[in-house]
A = this chain, B = another copy of it.
Amino acid sequence: MKQFISVDDVPSVPRLVDIALDYKKQPFKDRTLGENKTLGMIFLNPSLRTRLSTQVAAKNLGMEVVVFNIDKEGWQLEMNDGAIMNGNTSEHVKEAAAVMGQYFDIMAIRTFPGLKDKESDYKEKYINQFIKYAGVPVVSLESATLHPLQSLTDVITIKEQWQQPRRPKVVMTWAPHVKPLPQAVPNSFAQWINGWGEADFVITHPEGYELDPKFTGNAQIEYDQDKALEGADFVYVKNWSSYKDYGKITCTDSSWMVTNDKLKGTNAAKIMHCLPVRRNVVIADEVLDGPNAIVIPEAANRVWAAQAVLSEILKGNIV
């Protein structure tokens, strides 16, 4: 792989999943692969799991890691070409990315959408500017519209938990939240489940919460949550703000919260969430504390996803 921004950068999802599961068994088997290589992790936004698991993954491969909260430890970047920089931005991404590309062998970047300008967010302007100027492989730690390390983890987790010959039914359900959140996780989950191709995939949400069809593809869209959840083997819960009425909260119906009652019709479905999750707003305590929640092993798998991605980039595999 030359970069890791989207499922489209991955020659074979099943193969990448297998590489990750191998690392889970033997975390240190490639301890010398990253020798004398440095991963630069650039944060324009906060992060917990991605920040920590990727550091652990890189060190498992013997890499050095440099973490840089550019917004707090540096200064604000200009992203617009041709700008007359007499305002709040101190450095253009042309210089910042190119310079960091001189220091690091791989650059990993987290940058959230503004949720104001749909076109700019969906062009992935920020991460694409980094890719354009970095001159080294770039790994997304979540970008405006996608979160591929999370989605790879999710596929790994489903594959690991599902031991039956038939295809699992995977349902992604919208759930309420108090703040307008990006569509990156649901877009990306849809993109990866489709790219993986080994599940029956249903998406359920209130009307007006339709995601960009270029990510949801042939997934079945079902507006009735109860109907969607029927017979589900995995329920992937996530809030997102409206794509149509961009960045807005257009539904506050708390009955979309995932409770045990809601899950009665499922096939004792495993409950997934990318975290952080607001308890008793998105998912009820009874579900998260119950026997079917797999959010912790799911989060634990973040290490192996990151390790698989970094190792493939280090190996320069472009298959």
Residues of A within 8 A of B (CB): 27-28, 36, 38, 40, 43, 46-49, 51-53, 55-56, 59, 64, 66, 68-70, 72-75, 78, 81-87, 89-92, 94-96, 98-100, 102-104, 178, 275-281, 285, 288-289, 295-297, 299-300, 303
Q: List, in ascending order, chain B residues with CB within 8 A of A285's CB.
A: 81-82
Assembly CA distance A98 to B70 (angstroms) = 28
- Shortest C-beta distance, A93 to chain B (Å), equals 11
Chain A at the B interface: SS class? mixed
Q: Which residue of the partner chain, among B28, B59, B95, B178, contacts A277 with CB atoms under 8 Å?
A: B95
Beyond known contacts A48-B96, A48-B99, A84-B279: 4 more, CB 8 A cutoff? A53-B103, A85-B278, A94-B279, A95-B276
Q: Is the pair B69, A52 in contact by a Cβ cutoff of 8 Å? A: no
A14 to chain B, nearest CB (A): 24
- What's the Cα separation between A94 and B86 when bound, in Å? 40
Report the separation of the CA atoms of residues A275 and B74 in the bound assembly, to the nearest whole angstrom.
Answer: 12
Which A-B residue pairs are the 7 nearest by beta carbons?
A91-B276, A102-B300, A85-B278, A84-B280, A99-B299, A48-B74, A98-B296
User: Which of A38, A64, A73, A295 has its CB near the most chain B CB atoms (within 10 A)?
Assistant: A73
Q: Are B75 and A51 in contact (CB under 8 A)?
A: no
Q: Are B46 and A73 in contact (CB under 8 A)?
A: yes
Q: Which residues of B contact A51 (CB under 8 A)?
A: 68, 73-74
Contact between B85 and A280 (Cβ–Cβ < 8 Å)? yes
Show 7 residue pairs from A and B whose CB-CB distance is below 8 angstroms, ordered by the A residue. Answer: A27-B36, A48-B74, A48-B100, A69-B73, A84-B280, A96-B276, A98-B296
